[in-house]
Amino acid sequence: MATIRTWTPPDLRSFSNTKVFRKYCALFSHPAWNRAVSILYAARSYEAGLEGSRILADLTERFKANLDPHQYERNLIRIALLELTCLDHLDRLAEYLEAWEGWRIRRLALFYKLSRRGDPRIMPFVLEETDASLVVHFLYLTWGRKRNVEGKIGLGNFKRHARQEDLTEEDLGLRLSRVT
């Protein structure tokens, strides 16, 4: 079985605050974030991803004063989507719903064209309307998946996601070669 090593809080304590902040910013830069998440997903390293999402959420709060408001919100949205994806793929459905509701309380917005105003799917997530756009809660993107998770909970017996343990070294190497 192949695994991806996680970056733990003790590893972070060995760096100065400035070094940790630089590494944090580098991870959230483009294309580093997309690449890191692609590797986690390809390796099915959802436990590591979940742990990482929680560490990153703590770091984001720690560095909030150093981030501009847009960057702070964008990072939290990325972290939330990572956390929800990992919980989903780990089949931790009750935790998924709990995390979803926890993120729903926070005002983290995306912006859509006013032409979407009449879309009934988006309306429960509209936070406000400006002259130029609709301000929509980012969880709008996950609404369909949340409904599927709620349905699975009622079933009890459902098709589970594939696990990292199911990957051979060869499978893992092939999957990682596609994203690196």
Comparing 1-5, 52-56, 139-143, the range with the smallest average pLDDT is 1-5
pLDDT in tens, 3-36: 445 544 555 555 678 889 999 999 999 999 999 9
Question: What burial class does residue 47 get, using C-beta atoms within 10 Å of its C-beta: 0-12 exposed, 13-18 middle, 19+ buried?
Answer: middle
Q: How does residue 176 score in pLDDT terms, banded at 50, 70 and 90?
A: confident
Q: What is the rounded average pLDDT of the residues 142-169?
A: 82
The answer to whether 1 and 167 are in contact (CB under 8 A) is yes
Residues 67 and 75 sit within 8 Å (Cβ to Cβ): yes
- State which amino acid sits at residue 169: E
